[in-house]
Structure 1
Amino acid sequence: MHQLSLDRQDVRILDLLQRDSRISRSQLAEQVNLSASQCYRRLKRLEESGLIERYATLLNLEKAGFDVRAMVMVSFSKTATNARNRLLELINSLDEIQECYSASGEYDFILRVNCTGMRAYSELINKKLLSDAVVAIHSYILMDCLKFSTAVPLQANS
């Protein structure tokens, strides 16, 4: 995979956008000491390269009513027909599952889950997620978030 070459100004632009994606183009240009047109060209290049995938809004989960957060480890059946694909299809259909990673080790998938309460969480695990494709589920209920960041630490290329 080709890594995009970034200079200090690119990194500064990306750092500012990661902190506040709603920053105006003129403010962005001012903070990185570029003209608006130079800053726009750099931003366009970063978007077109795919380094900037999208702009998003982060919600406060508790204020949105999602009081239960969990990491859920899942193993799928190696003998059931098409178990992996059926399980992935199911996972992709469930809005409570925010992220799904394939993993090495004891479990096949690691899921990040947000639910509105323990009843909703129990229903997700026991009614929606359980199927003949699943052989094991192990959950960790997350208590307090001690660190959360979506910012990727970047460095300029030499």
Structure 2
Amino acid sequence: MVSLDKTDLKILQVLQAEARITNQDLSERVNLSASSCLQRVRRLEQAGVLMSYHSRINLPLICRHIVCIATVSLKNHSQQDFREFEQLVKSTPEVVECYTVSGEFDFFLKIICPDMNQYLKVNDALVSSANRSITINTHVVMNQNKYFEGLDLGKLTSE
């Protein structure tokens, strides 16, 4: 883990909500000089704490699409099978998130496609490309009731 102080956490907290904030405005919000603030942001980027900056796009305003949540179970639980499936998922652009999980299934996938026909093609590709026996259970998202907008870092850290 990277050692962070309260100022680093303040910077991260602000950037989660406002990634497009200017360095000058960020420095004022966290009570630092602009040069010190920029130095800290660059250090956080180099350390891999700040991994990227994104915009949340309102997809229904620009295109039709479906969001599917899929659970995947592998028949065999070897490290090789897990690595191969992870590589398959990474090479499938419609899979926008993937988690290895404990419990009844092995992976949790979030898949976004223009329509159900494309989802079925993705599903078939995942099943047929896997050199192992897998089971996929899919749930079509009807509505997203809460969006991820950042974490309260103070509650997750000892600072």
Task: Identify the residue that residue 86 of structure 2 maps to in structure 1.
Answer: 88
Q: Where does structure 1 lack aligned partners over 5 or more consecutive residues? A: none
The corresponding residue for 2:45 is 47
Task: Give the Cα separation in 1 of the matches to 2:140 and 2:110.
Answer: 10
Residue 41 of structure 1 deviates from its aligned partner by: 2.4
Q: In structure 2, the residue corresponding to 1:62 is in which secondary structure?
A: helix
Shift of 1:46: 2.1
What's the C-alpha RMSD, in Å, of the aligned pairs?
2.3
The 1:71–1:79 alpha-carbon spacing in structure 2 relative to 1, beyond 3 Å, is closer
Q: 4+ residue runs of structure 1 moved beyond 4 angstroms?
A: none
Q: How many residues align?
A: 154
- Shift in Å, 1:78: 1.5
The aligned amino acid for 1:143 is M
**Counterpart selection for 1:124 from 113, 122, 126:** 122
TM-score of the superposed pair, with normalisation by structure 1: 0.83
Q: Which residue of 2 aligns with 1:77?
A: 75
Measure, in 1, the Cα distance between the counterparts of 2:11 and 2:77: 50
Say which structure, 1 or 2, has more relative contact order (CA 8 Å, 6+ apart): 1
Q: Structure 2-normalised TM-score?
A: 0.82
Residue type of the partner of 1:140?
H
The structure richer in helix per residue is: 2
Give the aligned partner of residue 14 of structure 1: 12
Whichever residue aligns with residue 127 of structure 2, its letter is L
Q: Is the 8 A contact 1:77 1:83 kept in 2?
A: no
Structure 2: segments with no counterpart, 5+ residues = none
